[in-house]
C-alpha cells in the first residue's frame, strides 16, 4: 500500500502472516489482503479465512474498504473456468455483512 507524502494515515496494522495491511484516513479504514493460493496451501488458506481475516475485521472500524487478491469466487457466474468455492470466504462476507464489488 502506498500513499502520497501529503496524505496522513494513522493506525497502520498488518496481519501477522504479512497477508494484509490496513490504515485509516479521514474516518475510513483502507485495507489490502491476499489469501494463500494453490491446492497445496488449502489448509493455510482456511486458517486465513477462519482466524486471521475475522480477527482483523472485528478490530476494524465499520467504515472499511478492503481490496486484494482473494483466490475464490462467490458465485459460479463470476467464474470463467473452475468454480473455486469455499465456505470460509462466503462466511466472512455474510458474517460481516460485506458486499462483493
User: What does the pLDDT average to over 62-83?
Assistant: 74
Q: Which residues contact 49 (CB under 8 A, 6 or more apart)?
A: 35, 86, 88, 89, 91, 92
By the 8 A CB rule, do 33 and 68 touch?
yes
- Using the 8-state DSSP alphabet, how is residue 41 labeled? G
Predicted confidence (pLDDT) at residue 4 exceeds the cutoff of 90: yes
What mean pLDDT is predicted for residues 13-39?
A: 87
* CA–CA gap between residue 66 and residue 21 (Å, rounded): 9
**Alpha helix segments (H runs only) across 5-98:** 42-47, 53-59, 87-95
**Residue 96 pLDDT:** 78
pLDDT(24) > 70: yes
Across the strands, what pairs with 24? 10, 29
Domain-by-domain residue ranges, the chain? Answer: 10-85
* E strand spans, the chain: 10-14, 20-25, 28-34, 64-69
Amino acid at each position: 500500500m502506498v500513499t502520497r507524502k501529503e496524505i496522513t494515515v494513522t493506525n497502520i496494522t498488518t496481519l501477522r502472516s504479512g497477508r494484509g495491511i490496513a490504515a485509516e484516513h479521514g474516518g475510513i479504514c483502507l485495507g489490502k489482503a491476499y489469501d494463500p493460493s494453490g491446492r497445496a496451501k488449502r489448509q493455510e488458506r482456511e486458517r486465513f479465512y477462519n482466524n486471521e481475516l475475522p480477527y482483523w475485521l472485528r478490530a476494524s472500524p465499520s467504515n472499511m474498504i478492503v481490496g486484494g487478491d482473494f483466490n475464490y469466487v462467490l458465485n459460479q457466474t463470476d467464474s470463467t473456468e473452475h468454480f473455486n468455492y469455499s465456505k470460509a470466504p462466503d462466511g466472512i462476507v455474510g458474517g460481516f455483512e460485506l458486499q462483493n464489488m
